[in-house]
Structure 1
Amino acid sequence: MNHERPTRILHGRTWALVLVILVLVSGCKNAQQASVVAFPRSFSELAQKVQPAVVNISSTSTVRIPGDPFRNFFGQDGDTPGLNDFFGNFFHDIPDRAVKQQSLGSGFIIDRGGYIITNNHVVDKADEIRVKLSDSREFSAKVVGRDPKTDLALIKISSTFKALPVLPLGDSDKMRVGDWVLAVGNPFGLEHTVTQGIISATGRVIGSGPYDNFLQTDAPINPGNSGGPLINMQGEVIGINTAIIQGGQGIGFAIPSNLAKTVSEQIREKGKVTRGWLGVTVQTVTPELAQSLALKEPKGALVSSVVAGSPASAAGIHTGDVVISCYGHAVTNANDLPRIVAEAPVGKEIAITVIRNGNEIPLRVTLKDASTSVASRPALASEEDLGLTVKPLDPLRQQRSGLPKGRGVVVTDVDEDGPSRIAGIRPGDIILEVNRKIIRNTHDFKQALSGHGTPVLMLVHRGDAEFFVTIG
C-alpha cells in the first residue's frame, strides 16, 4: 500500500503535464490559424464577391484634326510668317476633320440607384459613355459631375430589370503599410481582371494636383485600370486606382476612399465640389529652417506669405508662423495643409494652431469658398519671383543627361535667399515640367509660370534622377 501512494502522486503530476502540453498545442494551432488569416491561401471568394459591382467603361470623344498640317509648324507668335503664310494659303481649302477617339477605363457602383465612381480622365470630354457589367449587361451613362483637381467623376446608369450590385466605401485612414489589397479593373481591355498586392505606402505626393494624398500599392495596375477599386480584405473599397509610374514595376497609386466619399457626396448633392480657402502660401520646414525657427523638429507648414483680406489675415496668421494643426488634423508638412483646408467646411469657424517665436498659439479661422477666391491669390509672372534664372538646354548637356532633344531648360543661377533656393533648386538642374506642363524651351517656361498662383510644381532632372519640387 505504501508503495502505491507515490505512484498515484506521480500519475497526478503526469496528467498535469499532459494538460499543459495540450494547452500549448492548442495555442500553436490558434497561432497557425491566425497565420492563415494573415496570409490567405486564396483570394477567390473575395474576388467573386466584389467583381459584380465593378464595371468596364468605354467613352467616345471627338478630336479635331487640322486640315493644315503645317499650322504653327514653323514657329509661334509670328515667327517665320512667310513660310506660315505660304503653307496656310496652300492648304486653306482643306477643312479640319472630326475624328472619333475611344478610351477604356473602369469604375464601381456605389448604390442601387446606379451611381458609379470613376476617374475624371476616363470620362472627360466624352460625347458618349457606355458601361458594361460582369453579367454582360450594357448601359448608357451620363456624367453627374466631375472634379478635375482630384481626378474623380460621378456617373449614373439606370436599370429597371434587375437590382444593381454595389460596393461599400471603407475607411482608407485605417489602411497600414503591408495590408493586403486587390485591384479590379479593365487593364488593356481585359475585362474584370483581378490583381493582388499590399499597401506599399500612404500619403504619397506625386505632383498630380494640389490635394495629393495617394495610397501606393504593388498590386499590378495598368492602362484601363483607371477608376477601378482597390479592395481590402473585408470587401470594401479603400482606394480608386488612378496612376502608375511609367517604366516602374509594382508602383501604382490610388485615391483614398475617404476623399472619394467626400467628393462624390458633394457632386451628388450640389453637382460640384466646394473647397475651403485659407489664403496663405506655405513651404516645407526643412531641418535647417527648424533650427533657425527654434523648432523641436522639422514638422508643420511654414507660412511664406499671407494674402491681404484673406481668412488667414483676418484670423491673425503671420508670415513666418508654422502651422502644426488645422481642423483637428496634424499638419506634418506643407502638402498636408492645402488638403486639410480643402476638406474643411466653408463659412464655419474652425481651429488652427501655429507656432510663433517658439510658442503655440491657438487661433480660429472662417474659411472662404476657394472657387470665389481665386482672383485674390497672388500670381507668379516671372523667373524673378521664383528667384532663379534659366536658359535653353545646350546640346552637350542634353547628351550627357540622356534627355530627348527639345526637352527642358537648365537653371543657371539661383538667388541665395529666394524661394527656389529654399525649395532645393540648384544651378545645373534641368526643369522638365512646370505645373504639369511639358517645358521644351524658355518660352514654354515663361508661359507656364505666367498667371499661375503659388505653389509652383516643377519636375526636375538632376544626375540620373527625376523628382518633383514645390516652390512657394
Structure 2
Amino acid sequence: MFPIRTPSVPSMRPSDRLRVGFCMVALTWATSAEATPNPRSLAAGVHLMAVRPAADIDPRRRTPVVKAVEKVAPSVVSITTEFTQTDLFFQTRTGSSEGSGVVLSPDGVVLTNDHVIRGADRITATFADGRSYDAKLVGTAPELDLAVLRIAPPATDPPLNAVAVGASGDLLLGEPVIAIGNPFGLGHTVTTGVVSAVSRPLETDDRVYQDFIQTDASINPGNSGGPLLDITGRLIGINTAIYPQGRGIGFAIPVDRAVKVARDLVQFGTVQVPWLGVDLDDIAIRTATGRRIAIRVTRVYPDSPAARIGLTADDLLVGIDGRELHGRSDLNAHLAAYDPGRSFSLDAIRSGRSLELQLATTPLPDRSIDRSIRAIMGANIAATTERRGVVLQQLDPRGSLAQRGLRAGDRILAINGHATPTVEAFRTQVGRVKSGHRPTALFTIQRRMHVVRVSAAL
C-alpha cells in the first residue's frame, strides 16, 4: 500500500476523519515485458463453485448469504488492466493491475472505480465461469472515483446478468452485507460483514470524500470496484477504499450516487452536476475552532442561480444541506448525486457575517460555455481537417489565452488531459470544467513541432 500523504483538514475531528488507501494500489506492479507475470494466473482456476447449485445439497445450507451470492456472482467481473511506463532513461516497461467490477445492464455496462482503470492501455473483464472480454472505457468521474466500461460478448455467448440495484439512503447500522471481488488476484472471493457506519467522511492523498458506507466485511487490494450487497443480493455500494492501519474497516461508494453517475456517463459522457452559476477556489480560513478549508466565490455569472440569490465574489461557502464543506471537490461530489434543477441550502460567510441561502440549480447553459470561450479566453476557434485539436483563429489580446502567450495558429489538443479533436469536443471539455465550478484549466498546446501545457482561466 502506498503511503498516504494527506493535507490536514483541521475542521474535521480526528474521530470523524479517516485517512484511507484505495483497495487496488498494493496490487499494481510494473515489470519488464519479459518478466511480466500472467495477470490472470491466480484467478484462472479460482471460480465460485458455490454459484453452481447441486441437487443433493442440504437446503438448510442454502442460507440467505448463499442465495444472494448465487444470484449476484454471475454479474461480478475481475478486471485486469495493462499499461506501459517510461522510466528516466526512456525505457518502456509494461505492467498490470487488478480490480473488480459489476454488470449494471444486460447490454454490457460495467461499473468500477476510476483508480482501477486509470492509465490503462487495455482492460479485460473476466467472469466467474472463465469468460473473458475486452472492455472499452465509456467515461470516468475521477473526483468521485467511478468509471463505466462496456463489454460486448459475441451473440453466441450466454446473455449477461445485471445486478439488482438497491438503495443506500435507508441502510441500517448492523444490517448484514456481502462483498464480492478479486482480492490479491483471487478472483470472485466472497466476504461478509455488517454496515458499520454511514455518511462517513474520508480523507485521501488529495481530497476529502463524503458520505461513504463503512463496513467490516473483509475488503483487500483488488476488491476495488466490486459490489457491496445487502442480504437480498441487491447492490448497495461500490467497494473503494480500506483503512490501512486497521482491520475490518472498508468503505464503499453509496449506490444511489454511483448509479446516477453511471447513468450520466452512459447518456452524456460526463457527470451532469447541478450548476450554481459560480467559479470557486479553495482557501484556508481561521474560525473559533481553528483553521479549516472554505470555498471562495471567484466569479458570479450574470443571470445565474447564484446571481439570483445575491451571491457575490469573495463570499465563502462553508456548508450545504446542513453539513460542512471541505473544498470544491467535496461540494461537487455532493452535487453529483443529484440532477440539475434541485434546490440546496447553502451556508455562506460574507465579510464575517453568516448567511443561509436557498439556491435552485440549473443545468449549465450553452451561453456560459460561449461566454467562457469568447469573453474569458478571448478565442475564436475552428476545426482542423485532420481532427487533431482545434486551431485558434483569432485571439483577443485581453483574453486569458493571449495573456498566457498563445497566438493565432496555435492548436489546443486537450483540456485537463481530455482530447479536443473537434469544436464539439472542445466545447464539451469547457463545459466539463465549468460544471465543476473551476476558474482555470490546463491546456495542451501545439505550436509547430512543439507541445506544451499552459494553465489559463476559462
Q: Would you call these one fold, judging by a TM-score over 0.5? A: yes
Q: Displacement, 1:359?
A: 7.8
Q: CA deviation at 1:265?
A: 0.6
Quick one: structure 1 residues 188 and 364, their matched pair in 2 at CA, closer, same or farther if it must change by over 3 Å?
closer
Q: Is the 8 A contact 1:302 1:321 kept in 2?
A: no
Partner of 1:63: 85
1:202 maps to 2:198 = yes
Q: Distance in 2 between matches of 1:141 and 1:321?
A: 43
Query: Which AA in structure 2 matches 1:119?
Result: N
Between the aligned partners of 2:348 and 2:245, the Cα distance in structure 1 is 42
Relative contact order, higher structure (CA 8 A, sep 6+): 2
What percentage of residue pairs aligned between the two structures are identical? 33
Within the candidate set 396, 421, 434, 1:372 is matched to: 434
Q: Do the aligned partners of 2:78 and 2:125 also contact (CA within 8 Å) in 1?
A: yes
Q: Which residue of structure 2 lines up, in the alignment, with residue 242 of structure 1?
A: 240
Distance apart, 1:241 and its partner CA: 0.7
Distance 2:63 2:286 in 1: 45
Aligned residue pair count: 301
Provide TM-score, normalisation by structure 1.
0.56
How far the C-alpha of 1:171 sits from its partner, in A, is 0.8
* Residues 182 and 188, structure 2, Cα contact 8 Å, conserved in 1: yes
- The alignment partner of 2:169 has SS state of helix
Tell me how far 1:55 sits from its aligned partner.
Answer: 0.9
Q: Secondary structure at the match of 1:145?
A: strand
Q: Are 2:139 and 1:117 equivalent residues in the alignment?
A: no
- In 2, the alpha carbon distance for the partners of 1:374 and 1:367 equals 12
Counterpart-to-counterpart distance in 2, 1:252 and 1:261: 20
2:165 is aligned to 169
| Counterparts of 2:438 and 2:145, CA distance in 1 | 25
Match of 2:121 in 1: 127
Instruction: Please give the alpha-carbon distance, in whole angstroms, between the structure 2 residues aligned to 1:304 and 1:65.
Output: 38
Q: How many Å apart are 1:341 and its aligned residue?
A: 3.0
Opposite residue 332 of structure 1, the aligned amino acid is: R
Contact 1:277 1:342 in 2 (8 A): no
| RMSD (Å) for aligned C-alpha atoms | 3.6
Q: State which structure, 1 or 2, has the greater radius of gyration over its C-alpha atoms.
A: 1
Indicate conservation of the 8 Å contact 1:61/1:125, yes or no: yes
Shift of 1:332: 1.9
Q: Distance in 1 between matches of 2:259 and 2:435?
A: 25
CA distance in structure 2 between the aligned counterparts of 1:284 and 1:201, rounded to whole angstroms: 29
Q: Which residue of 1 aligns with 2:181?
A: 185
- Paired residue for 2:134? 140
- Which consecutive residues of structure 2, in runs of 5 or more, have no partner in the other structure? 1-61, 365-430, 442-454
Alpha-carbon distance between aligned partners in 1 of 2:87 and 2:192, rounded to the nearest angstrom: 41
Cα distance in 1, alignment partners of residues 317 and 438 from structure 2: 22
Q: TM-score, normalised by structure 2?
A: 0.57
1:223 matched residue in structure 2: 221
Kept in 1: contact 2:275–2:362 (CA 8 A):
no
- 1:233-290 alpha-carbon deviations (Å, 9 max, x no partner): 1211111111112232111111111111111111111222232443356899999479
Between structures 1 and 2, the one with greater helix share: 1
Structure 1, unmatched stretches of 5+, are 1-39, 68-95, 291-300, 380-450, 454-472
Moved more, 211-220 or 104-113: 211-220
Shift of 1:351: 5.0
Query: Which position in structure 1 is the counterpart of 2:310?
Result: 316
AA partner of residue 140 (structure 1): D
Quick one: which amino acid aligns to residue 116 of structure 1?
A: V
Query: CA deviation digits over 1:114-159, x for unaligned, max 9?
Result: 1111111211221222211111111121111122111111111112
Q: Give the Cα–Cα distance (whole angstroms) in 2 for the partners of residues 344 and 42 of structure 1.
A: 33
Residue of 38, 55, 70 corresponding to 1:48: 70
Other structure's SS at 1:149 match: helix
